[in-house]
Every structure is written in structure tokens, then in C-alpha cells.
Amino acid sequence: DAKTTQPNSMESNEEEPVHLPCNHSTISGTDYIHWYRQLPSQGPEYVIHGLTSNVNNRMASLAIAEDRKSSTLILHRATLRDAAVYYCIPARFQGAQKLVFGQGTRLTINP
């Protein structure tokens, strides 16, 4: 499995953009990059995923480096509800999509 490196914690202000980085230098060519987040006392929640090109959805944008060794999750306008632990997960299909959760980045949003 590809190893990931994320900052342990980040802090931002409400209504400002947030860029959450992730390094996955050992990613294989067939691994999709998934992002999940976990709000306090809840199960993880899917945010976004991508393979090579940048992706957007209603929650966030995902910018993937050209060499695919890093990616950045972008929250365009953070709210207090975005305070969570964010996990970057290169997922490989081996009979099933196995997600390997690392430590993630704990995001704090200041009002």
C-alpha cells in the first residue's frame, strides 16, 4: 500500500479557503486518491476522489500533481462544520476497494 504523509494538524478561519496537503510518493499507477473526513464522534464521510486530473464536487476540490506523488484537498470556504480529521487514502483494488486510513490531518476552524 502507498504510504501517505499529512500534517498532523492545521488551523484556518471561517469563510476562508483551506488547502490540505498530502504526499503519496509511492502511489501506483492504478491507485485512485480518496479523501475522507471524520467529524467528532461520527463515522468517516466520503469527500472526493480522483485519478489524474483535478476534480470538483459540491464539498471540495481535489488538485493532483502531475507526477501524482502529492495532492491537495481544497475547501473553498470553510465553515465550522468542516472541523474534522481529514484522511488522504490512495486506494487499491485487491478483490475489493481497501481503504487504509493513516493518522490524517486534524483541521480546526476558528470563528
Partner 1 sequence: DAGITQSPRYKITETGRQVTLMCHQTWSHSYMFWYRQDLGHGLRLIYYSAAADITDKGEVPDGYVVSRSKTENFPLTLESATRSQTSVYFCASTERGGLAGEQYFGPGTRLTVT
32 near partner 1, rule: CB under 8 A: yes
Chain positions 91 to 110 lying near partner 1, rule: CB under 8 A, are 91-93, 95-104
C-alpha distance across the termini of the chain, in Å: 38
51 near partner 1, rule: CB under 8 A: yes
* Contact partners, residue 42, CB within 8 Å, separation at least 6: none
Beta bridge partners of 110: 13
From the list 34, 71, 78, 105, which residue makes contact with partner 1 (rule: CB under 8 A)?
A: 34
Q: At closest approach, how far in Å is the CB of 13 from partner 1?
A: 26
Burial code (b: 16+ CB inside 10 Å, e: under 16) for 5-26 equals ebeeebebeeeeebebebbbee
Chain positions 56 to 85 lying near partner 1, rule: CB under 8 A, are none
Q: Of 18 and 86, which has the nearer Cβ to partner 1? A: 86
From the list 8, 29, 40, 42, which residue makes contact with partner 1 (rule: CB under 8 A)?
A: 42
What is the rounded distance in angstroms from the CA atom of residue 40 to the CA atom of residue 60? 19
Q: Of 55 and 63, which has the nearer Cβ to partner 1? A: 55
